[in-house]
Amino acid sequence: MELDQQATLQDSGSSTYMTRVILPSTGHHTRFSMEPATSTRNAVIAAAAVGGFCFYLFFRPYLLLGVLAAASMGAATFWTLRAREVQHVRRTVLITFSIITWAGTFAILAWIGPSSLVKWVADHLRVYYFQGMPMYGTTIIPCTRALPEITLGIAMYGQEAQPGVILKWPSSLVMLIMVMVPFVATAVVFGRGWCGWMCFFGGTVEAFMSGSKIHWPLRRWRMNFTPPDGEASFLGGLKEEVKDIKYGLALALLLIGLGAAVPIICIVCWTFLIQYLWIGLLFIAATVLFAMVVPFMTKKRWFCILCPVGAMIGLVESLSPFRIKIDKEKCDKCYDCMRACPMYAMTPKAIEEKGKPVLDCVKCGRCIEVCPKECVDLYLRGTNMKVRSWFVPLALGATAAWYVWFVFALIQLTPHLLGI
């Protein structure tokens, strides 16, 4: 057990590791030393800006909805900027929007009804299909991940990609621009911060990371790490080859997509998979395992560590102006950040040599709040300017903007479902 190894370190009497030893192996730390991101005055201004933006997004169709959105997201912004931790609010917001997304999706499916679902898939929201083949085509599901990827796939493969492929969406250049511009802008501004703050599936995985005990150390997949001045080794992050699985998956999806002339996301889309039941069942089993079971047991975002979509977003990570950095002068190599990181993005090399996490970092801020030396923060890329106070309001505002669709769908369909 990791706990035993920590106890061994404590017994060794090395004061260097005392901080780590008092941290529970659950990944839930009880003591935070991080500085608030900004002054009270600036936090109030940022909260007012995010609140006003959310009111504008949500006040139609109900004024009360706008007020609620403004109050909750404004409060979330203020708290995240002034508190000595970011996890509780970030997780609460992300998981809340994930629940709304799932609820909105199931509301739509229930509204359509099981009997007409396949017909709906076939007739109304068909993106492409092969002429003469009994294929249902692919829907535009209400998914923040799927929408731009479907669009991108269509843009990539084009109507002439394969004889017999008929493209139904986007119906116009305006539609293409409407979806692609926000998604590309989000990916460029936040990089994998998308995964930490916006992706509903990432929020689903985080929901399953709840609870307090780590039961699975997963020794075979993790490195046995000995600190440079340490007397004992302990389990560190993941082995590089395990993290690289996602690039293999991304390449495989890309090749399958190119070979079959289908948008990449369609390969893992439920409407595509219902046509190939055994692949669909396999996919569901893998999702349950890595998005629910393993995250619950390990408190790490396993689905996201292996997600090919995350790997693709990582390709534009270097364009994002926001970057987690370590002040190597102040760092005392306690490795608390490595233990706390839900993505295994803080590696020994990142801490000792590079001074920044690897590309898997989703900018969740966990390492900032657990560092006892206050030497981790979010910086403007290539500078020493701390920008957590800019990132947080921007990320919360963008998150709200991505989920307006789902909230409205849920509100509008609920009366139909309840027969009101």
| Shortest Å distance, C-beta 300 to ligand SF4 | 10
Among 332, 348, 380, 381, binds ligand SF4 (CB under 6 A): 332
Among 324, 394, 398, 410, binds ligand SF4 (CB under 6 A): 324
What lies within 8 Å, CB to CB, of 54 at 6+ separation is: 66, 69, 70, 72, 73, 74, 397, 400
145 binds ligand SF4 per the rule CB under 6 A: yes
Residues in a beta bridge with 222: 238
CA gap 266, 260 in Å, rounded: 11
| Shortest Å distance, C-beta 77 to ligand SF4 | 18
* Cβ 138 vs Cβ 263: under 8 Å: yes
CB atoms within 10 A of CB 246: 20
For residue 221, CA distances in Å to 224, 307, 344, 349 come to: 10, 17, 11, 17
Angle between helix 146-157 and helix 173-190 axes, rounded to 10 deg:
120
Residue nearer to ligand SF4 on the CB measure, 90 or 126: 90
| Shortest Å distance, C-beta 274 to ligand SF4 | 21
What lies within 8 Å, CB to CB, of 342 at 6+ separation is: 27, 206, 209, 299, 300, 301, 362, 364, 366
Residue nearer to ligand SF4 on the CB measure, 51 or 308: 308
326 binds ligand SF4 per the rule CB under 6 A: yes
337 binds ligand SF4 per the rule CB under 6 A: yes
CA gap 25, 19 in Å, rounded: 12
| Shortest Å distance, C-beta 331 to ligand SF4 | 3
- Which letter, b or e, does each residue of 394-418 get, where b requires 16 or more Cβ atoms within 10 Å of its Cβ? bbbbbbbbbbeebbbbbbebeeeee
Among 83, 99, 218, 331, binds ligand SF4 (CB under 6 A): 331
Residue nearer to ligand SF4 on the CB measure, 370 or 409: 370
Dihedral angle sign, alpha carbons of residues 272, 275, 276, 279: positive
89 binds ligand SF4 per the rule CB under 6 A: no
Give me the 15-44 binding string for ligand SF4, x by CB under 6 A, dash otherwise.
------------------------------
Find the binding residues for ligand SF4 in span 346-405 (CB under 6 A): 346, 351, 357, 361-367, 371, 373, 375-376
Find the binding residues for ligand SF4 in span 281-310 (CB under 6 A): 303-304, 307, 309-310
Find the binding residues for ligand SF4 in span 186-225 (CB under 6 A): 195, 199, 201-202
* Cβ 316 vs Cβ 218: under 8 Å: no
Residue nearer to ligand SF4 on the CB measure, 127 or 368: 368
147 binds ligand SF4 per the rule CB under 6 A: no
Residue nearer to ligand SF4 on the CB measure, 10 or 275: 10
* Cβ 23 vs Cβ 3: under 8 Å: no
Residue indicated by tokens 């931790």: 85
Residue nearer to ligand SF4 on the CB measure, 170 or 357: 357
CA gap 344, 318 in Å, rounded: 19
Residue nearer to ligand SF4 on the CB measure, 66 or 295: 295
Which positions lie near ligand SF4, rule CB under 6 A?
145, 195, 199, 201-202, 303-304, 307, 309-310, 324, 326, 331-337, 340-341, 343, 345-346, 351, 357, 361-367, 371, 373, 375-376
